[in-house]
A and B are shown apart, each in its own frame.
Chain A
């Protein structure tokens, strides 16, 4: 800010930021370390490195079921919430209409809501309506919390979207549908894609909503929780690590897709 004196603040802040990052990653590293330990009960330093728990996880049918359930829920949540959030974000940020301010607040409310309480309320709601809970009801429950988040992400993109683009397209004779397909969606696609990735990962890792709404089905986070409180097994860090690997792979795939998209754009407009 002024002559000279700022210089000492910057290294301090950098070091502090590094500490925070280490703090954030400590438990994840701990889980991975534990997953490679041979012992039945974890102790550190690890004496026998081993991958036997991974072998077990890959061959176990129940693990496959768990992963499949988690994946199905997350995939379905992603598709539905991105579609709803697309329209929601237009209403949130693109159009000016009476009632918009109220709409914005109602949409954001579920994000602030304690998830465990929301899960219980939904459990009550389903039983009152006579719906038997299963992984399908969990999809619905996840959507209540995740769709608003995706709406928020897409809205950020919509705020910077110039409405004149749509008007120009329609002025040149495009119908509403054509405008949507050829202008609105492509321009908003970065927001939609990142919203989708978030939706997938948040659903994939969600525990408090799943706990009360999956009924007889079980997702990985629920299983992990059950094992954590009822008795340690080395499968817990192993599956935990696999979950993290899944999240990392999805992020990586998104990053690759994004880079490819950028490169294609560059090549298209380079000529």
Chain B
């Protein structure tokens, strides 16, 4: 699980997509390795759907090249490409049975009915669907079952690369978690290249070998989940990871920065090249509160305003005395902060735990 990839199966070279004056995808370069589970993450409007539509062949890039195993495939339409997609809406054929849905790509390819049936049964088994579902209508199936049918249909096409356009986004939390893991299992079983897009970094973290983060048409950062978690490249990536404390700061001297709102100084372990001004990102779970915070190099004084239970953890909101910034601090549920609400406390963190970014 390093960011080194094996033989690239799909290469994007300077991909640009414009709709009139609007640039939806702006000069993207990316290599996706053979057998990799790659996830593109971004908020809605970041260009990720446009991107995947070009990769599948539903849209054509305004400029740049899409290269599949060394062949430029820009002008190859979707039905001639050895790739296919699981749609956000799943796009199951409502007038066909589960079996007919799964057999569709084989029917189109001219596979004989006996072989089709055999393969469909295999796929039903692989996706943990009862064989009796073969003749069931797709509209009679539950959300999770429909997901599996869509996946089975895509696998029946036997694609080189399987694309996923947020197929899990409409499901409830628990089912989504189950299916995320199942998908990763299927990825291991089939050893195919999976390219997944989602707006949920959490989902991406669970499943992916590597993640690419997109915003406003640009690919901001590509790396393994650990790389992205440990070293977000900018404020956007940092905040996209989940709830974080973000302080706008400017450089004072080497490894020293000052908050722009109240002038408090902090130290950092590393700083980006030519750093002048930017943001200090501090994750809630690394912030100490109360006594343990008092000896730390970076400290803020504030009042405990509220607490929120997050299941395994508890989150506290601390309002800074000097600038009213609402700090988030997290503790594990079984080792909570001992004080009361409205207590005046110190919070603090180690210099190497905070991340300094330029933009």
A contact residues vs B (CB 8 Å cutoff): 1-5
In the assembled complex, B312 has its CB within 8 A of some CB on chain A: no
Q: Please provide the 7 A-B residue pairs with the shortest distance between their CB atoms, ordered closest to farther.
A: A3-B60, A2-B77, A2-B78, A4-B60, A3-B77, A3-B57, A2-B58
- Give Cα distance in the complex from A3 to B60, angstroms: 5
In the assembled complex, B59 has its CB within 8 A of some CB on chain A: yes
Query: With contacts A1-B58, A3-B57 known, what are 8 further pairs, Cβ within 8 A?
Result: A2-B79, A3-B59, A3-B74, A3-B75, A3-B76, A4-B60, A4-B77, A5-B77
Task: Give B218 Cβ to nearest chain A Cβ, in Å.
Answer: 23
Task: Give B249 Cβ to nearest chain A Cβ, in Å.
Answer: 42
- Give Cα distance in the complex from A194 to B19, angstroms: 37
Q: Please give, as numbers and ranges, the residues of chain A lying within 8 Å of B77 by CB-CB distance.
A: 2-5
Q: Please give, as numbers and ranges, the residues of chain A lying within 8 Å of B74 by CB-CB distance.
A: 3
19 contacts between A and B (CB under 8 A): A1-B58, A2-B57, A2-B58, A2-B77, A2-B78, A2-B79, A3-B57, A3-B58, A3-B59, A3-B60, A3-B74, A3-B75, A3-B76, A3-B77, A3-B78, A4-B60, A4-B75, A4-B77, A5-B77
- Give Cα distance in the complex from A223 to B271, angstroms: 92
Task: Give A6 Cβ to nearest chain B Cβ, in Å.
Answer: 10
Q: What residue of chain B has the Cβ atom nearest to residue A3's Cβ?
A: B60
- Give Cα distance in the complex from A3 to B77, angstroms: 6
Q: What residue of chain A has the Cβ atom nearest to residue B54's Cβ?
A: A3
Q: What residue of chain A has the Cβ atom nearest to residue B59's Cβ?
A: A3
- Give Cα distance in the complex from A1 to B79, angstroms: 11
Q: What residue of chain B has the Cβ atom nearest to residue A5's Cβ?
A: B77
A-B contact count (CB 8 A): 19
Task: Give B150 Cβ to nearest chain A Cβ, in Å.
Answer: 19
- Give Cα distance in the complex from A78 to B6, angstroms: 75
Number of B interface residues at 8 Å Cβ cutoff, please give it.
10
- Give Cα distance in the complex from A1 to B59, angstroms: 8
Interface centre among A2, A3, A4 (most CB of B within 10 A): A3
- Give Cα distance in the complex from A3 to B59, angstroms: 5
**B71-89 interface mask toward A, CB cutoff 8 Å, 1 = contact, 0 = none?**
0001111110000000000
Q: What residue of chain B has the Cβ atom nearest to residue A1's Cβ?
A: B58
Q: Please give, as numbers and ranges, the residues of chain B lying within 8 Å of A3 by CB-CB distance.
A: 57-60, 74-78
- Give Cα distance in the complex from A3 to B76, angstroms: 7
Q: What residue of chain B has the Cβ atom nearest to residue A4's Cβ?
A: B60
Q: Please give, as numbers and ranges, the residues of chain A lying within 8 Å of B76 by CB-CB distance.
A: 3
**B229-258 interface mask toward A, CB cutoff 8 Å, 1 = contact, 0 = none?**
000000000000000000000000000000
- Give Cα distance in the complex from A2 to B78, angstroms: 6
- Give Cα distance in the complex from A1 to B57, angstroms: 9
Q: Please give, as numbers and ranges, the residues of chain A lying within 8 Å of B79 by CB-CB distance.
A: 2
Tell me the B311-346 residues at the A interface (CB within 8 Å).
Answer: none
Interface centre among A1, A2, A5 (most CB of B within 10 A): A2
Q: Please give, as numbers and ranges, the residues of chain B lying within 8 Å of A1 by CB-CB distance.
A: 58
- Give Cα distance in the complex from A1 to B78, angstroms: 9
**B285-310 interface mask toward A, CB cutoff 8 Å, 1 = contact, 0 = none?**
00000000000000000000000000
Q: What residue of chain B has the Cβ atom nearest to residue A2's Cβ?
A: B77
Q: Please give, as numbers and ranges, the residues of chain B lying within 8 Å of A4 by CB-CB distance.
A: 60, 75, 77
- Give Cα distance in the complex from A82 to B71, angstroms: 65
Task: Give A167 Cβ to nearest chain B Cβ, in Å.
Answer: 28
Tell me the B92-120 residues at the A interface (CB within 8 Å).
Answer: none
- Give Cα distance in the complex from A152 to B114, angstroms: 49
Q: Please give, as numbers and ranges, the residues of chain A lying within 8 Å of B78 by CB-CB distance.
A: 2-3
Q: Please give, as numbers and ranges, the residues of chain B lying within 8 Å of A2 by CB-CB distance.
A: 57-58, 77-79
Q: What residue of chain A has the Cβ atom nearest to residue B60's Cβ?
A: A3
Task: Give A10 Cβ to nearest chain B Cβ, in Å.
Answer: 15
Q: What residue of chain A has the Cβ atom nearest to residue B76's Cβ?
A: A3
Q: Please give, as numbers and ranges, the residues of chain A lying within 8 Å of B59 by CB-CB distance.
A: 3
- Give Cα distance in the complex from A5 to B78, angstroms: 11
Q: What residue of chain A has the Cβ atom nearest to residue B78's Cβ?
A: A2
Task: Give A1 Cβ to nearest chain B Cβ, in Å.
Answer: 7
- Give Cα distance in the complex from A1 to B58, angstroms: 6
Q: What residue of chain A has the Cβ atom nearest to residue B73's Cβ?
A: A3
Tell me the B32-82 residues at the A interface (CB within 8 Å).
Answer: 57-60, 74-79
- Give Cα distance in the complex from A94 to B83, angstroms: 46
Q: Please give, as numbers and ranges, the residues of chain A lying within 8 Å of B60 by CB-CB distance.
A: 3-4
- Give Cα distance in the complex from A2 to B59, angstroms: 6
Q: What residue of chain A has the Cβ atom nearest to residue B57's Cβ?
A: A3
- Give Cα distance in the complex from A74 to B77, angstroms: 56
Task: Give B154 Cβ to nearest chain A Cβ, in Å.
Answer: 17
Task: Give A7 Cβ to nearest chain B Cβ, in Å.
Answer: 10
- Give Cα distance in the complex from A5 to B77, angstroms: 8
- Give Cα distance in the complex from A2 to B60, angstroms: 8
- Give Cα distance in the complex from A5 to B58, angstroms: 10
Task: Give B184 Cβ to nearest chain A Cβ, in Å.
Answer: 30
Task: Give A184 Cβ to nearest chain B Cβ, in Å.
Answer: 33
Task: Give A4 Cβ to nearest chain B Cβ, in Å.
Answer: 5
Q: Please give, as numbers and ranges, the residues of chain B lying within 8 Å of A5 by CB-CB distance.
A: 77
Task: Give B316 Cβ to nearest chain A Cβ, in Å.
Answer: 39
